A and B are shown apart, each in its own frame.
Chain A
Amino acid sequence: AQKVTQAQTEISVVEKEDVTLDCVYETRDTTYYLFWYKQPPSGELVFLIRRNSFDEQNEISGRYSWNFQKSTSSFNFTITASQVVDSAVYFCALSELPPYTGANSKLTFGKGITLSVRP
C-alpha cells in the first residue's frame, strides 16, 4: 500500500522568510511518481511539479525548489523569499508508475500543510 506523510500540519512565516515543506512517502513499487499540488483559498488544486522515481535531480523553478532523496523516501519543497500569495494548503502525492501510456495513475495524497505567510 502507498502512504504519504506530511508531518507538518500548519506553518506560519513572515514574508521573505524561506520555508521548507516536508514529505515522506512509502511504497512497495520500485518505480513511481511524486507530485506537489497547491490549493489556494479559492479551492482549486494547482499542479506544481512531478518527479520520476528514477530521476533524483533536484529542481529549481524561480522561488521554488524540490529536494528528492530516494534513500530517505523524502520529497521536500522549499519556497525561498516567501510571499503572501504563497499562502495555501500544499499537498504531496504519490502514484504508481503506469505500465503504459494512459494507465491508471491514481494519486495517494498526504494530509496537506497549511502555509500562512504574514506581511
Chain B
Amino acid sequence: GAGVSQSPSNKVTEKGKDVELRCDPISGHTALYWYRQSLGQGLEFLIYFQGNSAPDKSGLPSDRFSAERTGGSVSTLTIQRTQQEDSAVYLCASSLGQYPEQFFGPGTRLTVL
C-alpha cells in the first residue's frame, strides 16, 4: 500500500509492561512524526524525526517514552513500565519535506489495564 501503516492496530497490556509501537511511513518521506490522541488531551505532538535524527522530542511526556527510526524509514515508539494514563491512540504521520502536510496512519489503540 502507498499509505502510512502502523502495527499493531490494537494493543492491550498490563500496567508495568513495556510496549513497542511500529510505524512504516510513506516511501520517500523524510519527516516522521508521532502524536497521541486521548479524550482528555486531544491530539498532542510527541516527537519529530528528520531522517534517523530526532531534533524535537519536546512532546514526550516522560522518560518512559522513547523512539527511534532506522534507515530513514521505520520508526518504533517504546513505552516502558506502562501506566493507565498512557492509554490512548498513538498516531504516526509522515511528510515529504518540501511540503508540510502530514499523512497519517490508522493509529495504534493502546489500552493499559
Contacts and interface: CB of A to CB of B under 8 A. Distances in A.
Contacts of B104: 37, 44-47
A104 B95 CA distance: 10
A35 interface: yes
A35 B42 CA distance: 16
A105 B45 contact: no
Interface residues of B, number: 27
A106 B43 contact: no
Interface in B33-54: 33, 35, 42-43, 45, 48, 50
A106 B56 contact: yes
B65 interface: no
Contacts of B91: 45
A33 B98 CA distance: 13
Given A107-B45, A109-B42, A102 B89 contact: no
B106 A91 contact: no
Contact of A105 (B42, B100, B103, B106): B100
Given A43-B107, A112-B42, A104 B102 contact: no
B97 A102 contact: yes
Interface string B56-89: 1001000000000000000000000000000001
A87 interface: no
28 contacts: A33-B100, A35-B101, A37-B104, A42-B106, A43-B89, A43-B107, A44-B104, A44-B105, A44-B106, A45-B93, A45-B104, A47-B101, A47-B102, A95-B100, A101-B98, A102-B50, A102-B98, A103-B50, A104-B50, A104-B56, A105-B100, A106-B45, A106-B48, A107-B43, A107-B102, A108-B45, A109-B43, A110-B42
Closest 10 CB pairs of A and B: A102-B97, A45-B104, A105-B100, A109-B43, A106-B45, A101-B98, A44-B106, A50-B101, A111-B42, A104-B48
